[in-house]
Structure 1
Amino acid sequence: MLIDLQLALLLGALLPGSAKAAVPYRLVPPPLDTPWTEKVGTNPWPQYPRPQLRRDVWQSLNGIWTYQAAKGAGDVASPPTLPLNQEVLIPSCIESGLSGIMTIGVTHMWFGTTFTVPRRWTDGRRVLLNFEAVDYEATVLVNGDEVGFNRGGYSRFSLDITDSLIDGDNELMVFVFDPTDDQSIPQGKQTKRMSHIFYTPCSGIWQTVWLESFPDNFITSLDVSADMEGHVDVVVHSHTKTSRPVEITVEDAKGHVVGSHQHASDQPIRFTVPSPKLWSPDSPTLYNITVKMGDDEVQSYTGFRTISSGVINGIKRPLLNGEFVFRGSGV
């Protein structure tokens, strides 16, 4: 009976499609604990991660992924199968207890997860994969296709993954290299040899990961500024960098339309909102902006203010909306 059971277990492990199980996630108590440490959950932060260029069609990929250390740079050519060895909370750095890993010294590592996208997202539209930050180098694979590479631990990057998507579950793998103590990269105070003012590295996917869907020609960014006279200056940047009709609407906090303008993308636009409420530290009034270009629509915001300089009591001072408001003291 015992032999039969052992044989069954062995055959089950060898059968095609039999999946290994990752070590379940658990928060590792950090060296500096707080009363709130154990209250940290694994649910993704629900807010849209890029409020200055917001779309309604998006999906967070934050939450529980799997992780395993790699031997070196050559491992990127042979991705392991999912799930990886151990569950990890994304976003986090592997040196933190929050990650569930809390290890120091790993320079090469894999992260992996699966996701699905609604069919309407790929019906004549594109899908963008966004990383707010990965420290330090990231090679990204979707269903085995290398879809992009980024170098820099503090920079946001985006990848068009439309052509690599399939129906059903999609596999996302990220190979990370973090040479923390390499003097050729900006390391700040991070080091593996902590002392004095220096602290642990922050390796891995330490900021939000998310998907969004948009048409073939979409708005890539907005340049927005507004001054105390009510002037609104906007440049709507398009993916194709070709002039397309755009419609801009400005609303106050109650949803009332206070200004609108129609013009073209990829060139400066100026229009005026009459008698706006000005932004200041005492009254930080913001206005919502909606921009439409073809089938794409994004939301943003701005505040009406003018920063300048002037002579006050014989001294050149910084001014906000024509007034000297700076206050400070030295100790």
Structure 2
Amino acid sequence: MMTRWGRDLDPDNPWPEHPRPQLVRDAWSTLNGWWDFAVRRSDEPAPASPEEYDGAIVVPFSPETALSRSGREGRPLQPDETLHYRRRVVVPQHVHRGDSRLLLHFGAVDQSCVVRVDGVEVGRHDGGFWPFTIDVSEAFVRGFGELTVSVTDPTDTGPGARGKQRLEPGEIWYPAQSGIWQTVWFEAVPAVHVTGVDFEPVVDSGDPDRTRVRVTVRSNASATAVVRVGESTVRVETGSPVDVPLPHARLWSPHDPFCYDVLVHLEDDKGRTVDEVRSYLGMRSIEVRPPAGEPGGVPTFWLNGRAQPMIGVLDQGYWPDGLLTPPSDDALVHDLETVRDLGFTMLRKHVKIEPLRFYHHCDRLGLLVWQDLVNGGGRYRSSVTQLPGIRPVRLRDRGPRMRAVFGRADADGREVFERDLARTVALLGSSPSVVVWVLFNEGWGQYDTRRLTGRLRALDPTRPIVPVSGWHDQGGDGPAEHGEVRSLHVYGKPVRVNARMARAERERGRALAIGEYGGLHLPVDGHRVDGEVFGYQAVEDADELAAELARLERDELGPARRAGVAASVYTQLTDVAGELNGLLTWDREVRKVERYPFARQ
């Protein structure tokens, strides 16, 4: 199945946009487009780069996808196979300069890879959802060379982050993919250069004069940074946070997603500019608390000191022709504008890290994002991940025996998850649209929730945390252990607020959320794949779907919100493979309802 954007794809120039709007320089060049590829058994005694390749592939689309044009659509890389890429590279003149360093960036490679230039290893990376960078200045000193990437991906047979990928997909589990799935690009930087800029808005709604943003400029060597935000400018040593005053700042919100332009440059000891980058930031605060003056009141979400409705939709981020990779930037924007047009104020990004342009568009469109951490671990047991959805079962997730029950017996796998947790916060922590972290979902690879909630809180004290969405909530002593949100999943039964639970969460100071519900499935002929059909409740046609959604809101979600539920997330935005409970078909051609029929708070 192809999308309209996939049909219009230029395979010679896919995804030409700058892949990192959060940190921009002019001297860059994409390496997307045609590469050679081959798949070989990992145990074969072969060189790092095969002598013969199987054919051509369009990067950044995984070989399992139609848009890759590899001929391997639907044939996932196996755990005992290695995927090899090769491209002969000539560095463009505007990037290859004698006084600069040459950086090679990968948006994401699923899951582990080794990168070589002319047969010599220049770097390696593990973790299929996070970008990484390699300094290849010496490797490309002549301005050209052969770039190869060797990739392995165990998918759900290994403990690494995989999200909803499975080698044998079905129901809520989706087709596996592998290899390069986000933009590959060159960037020229000075010898001393900015490596990142972190923003932490400090918004005091009671005293607008004190509004400021805490900025930390990171660099590869100590230097003096000059930071300009709007009309305010400060100087600071790199690596040290500095407060930039923004009195009476224009605050970011869904109604006014205003972002300040940011310019950062580094100076040498003579005051000369040696590097310059452009960025942006949104000024906003987000918290969970009862209404002012009601210490025992119902906790809810507050954005910039005002109550903020959190009425959202579950967004899986899968495409029929690109799987994890959207066909184009326009396709990505289409989904986000559709979320807004449907009337939702928020989306929950489900167990996936998107390309950075996704968060940039959410920032500029004013869409609130609940960001899941990406799940991993061993095989999941249905008694842990599915049974609690039918009858109340809550398991403890601490200790060796229970870690094994949750698929987390492997110590190295737990260490990888905690590494990736820190990576996620570092990558997305400056995005104003990301307002909530979701640590675990439905027991998928869950462990040590109380401790990890504290670790996440230490990494980012500014955002509310959902420690567990679905079931197996672990409670805890204070927000550093139990977070700020209790999230329930409700399928196959009415959405009802348990008065005892609501009272207990109110006493803890936690907001109550319906983190998933709905799942009404409506097949649309001509816009779905053949095979198994899955959903939580079938409807016959669009009229019945609209009527049932209206009934859900009138009889269940509306009363639940009035009883204290502060957030809700409908399952889901689009169909994915055989899971046909989307408000849109998988190819995005049919919107099953014109607007989600909720009553605004």
Match of 2:57 among 63, 70, 88: 88
Residues of 1 paired with 2:115 and 2:46: CA distance?
A: 10
Contact kept, 8 Å, 1:143 with 1:165, in 2: the verdict is no
Contact kept, 8 Å, 1:57 with 1:212, in 2: the verdict is yes
Amino acid at match of 2:14: P
Unaligned runs of 5+ in 2: 268-273, 312-552, 558-601
Structure 1 length normalisation: TM-score? 0.81
Change beyond 3 A, Cα 1:225–1:203:
same
Residues of 2 paired with 1:249 and 1:129: CA distance?
A: 28
Change beyond 3 A, Cα 1:119–1:41:
closer
The match for 1:72 is 42
Contact kept, 8 Å, 1:44 with 1:60, in 2: the verdict is no
Task: Name the structure with the higher strand share.
Answer: 1
Residues of 2 paired with 1:35 and 1:132: CA distance?
A: 24
The match for 1:249 is 228
Deviation (angstroms), 1:73:
4.9
Q: Identical aligned pairs, as a percentage?
A: 32
Bigger RCO of structures 1 and 2 (CA < 8 A, at least 6 apart): 1
The match for 1:265 is 238
Change beyond 3 A, Cα 1:99–1:120:
closer
Q: CA RMSD in A?
A: 2.2
Contact kept, 8 Å, 1:245 with 1:293, in 2: the verdict is yes
The match for 1:112 is 86
The match for 1:45 is 15
Residues of 1 paired with 2:136 and 2:226: CA distance?
A: 28
Residues of 2 paired with 1:193 and 1:311: CA distance?
A: 45
The match for 1:149 is 124
* 1:251-273 deviations in Å (ceiling 9; x for gaps): 3xxxxxx2111222111101212
The match for 1:126 is 101
The match for 1:316 is 299
Pairs within 5 Å for 1:187-266: 187-228=162-203, 229=208, 230-240=211-221, 242=222, 244-251=223-230, 258-266=231-239
Larger displacement relative to structure 2 (296-305 or 68-77): 68-77
The match for 1:277 is 250
Amino acid at match of 2:96: W
The match for 2:335 is none
Residues of 2 paired with 1:38 and 1:95: CA distance?
A: 17
Amino acid at match of 2:20: R
Deviation (angstroms), 1:122:
4.1
Match of 1:292 among 265, 283, 303: 265
Amino acid at match of 2:88: T
Change beyond 3 A, Cα 1:120–1:173:
closer
Over 6 Å off, 4+ runs? none
Contact kept, 8 Å, 2:88 with 2:145, in 1: the verdict is yes
Unaligned runs of 5+ in 1: 1-31, 252-257
Deviation (angstroms), 1:85:
3.0
The match for 1:62 is 32
The match for 2:286 is 307
Change beyond 3 A, Cα 1:184–1:227:
closer
Match of 1:326 among 299, 309, 324: 309
Amino acid at match of 1:272: P
Give the SS at the match of 1:56. Answer: coil
Deviation (angstroms), 1:51:
1.4
Residues of 1 paired with 2:236 and 2:175: CA distance?
A: 50
Contact kept, 8 Å, 1:225 with 1:302, in 2: the verdict is no
Deviation (angstroms), 1:247:
0.6
Residues of 2 paired with 1:112 and 1:326: CA distance?
A: 49
Deviation (angstroms), 1:176:
0.9
Residues of 2 paired with 1:69 and 1:209: CA distance?
A: 20
Give the SS at the match of 1:121. Answer: coil
The match for 1:176 is 151
Deviation (angstroms), 1:120:
6.6
Deviation (angstroms), 1:110:
0.8
Amino acid at match of 1:274: P
Amino acid at match of 1:155: W
Residues of 1 paired with 2:233 and 2:94: CA distance?
A: 34
Deviation (angstroms), 1:143:
1.8
Aligned length, in residue pairs: 291
The match for 1:100 is 69
Deviation (angstroms), 1:34:
4.2
Residues of 1 paired with 2:51 and 2:24: CA distance?
A: 34
Pairs within 5 Å for 1:17-28: none
Structure 2 length normalisation: TM-score? 0.46
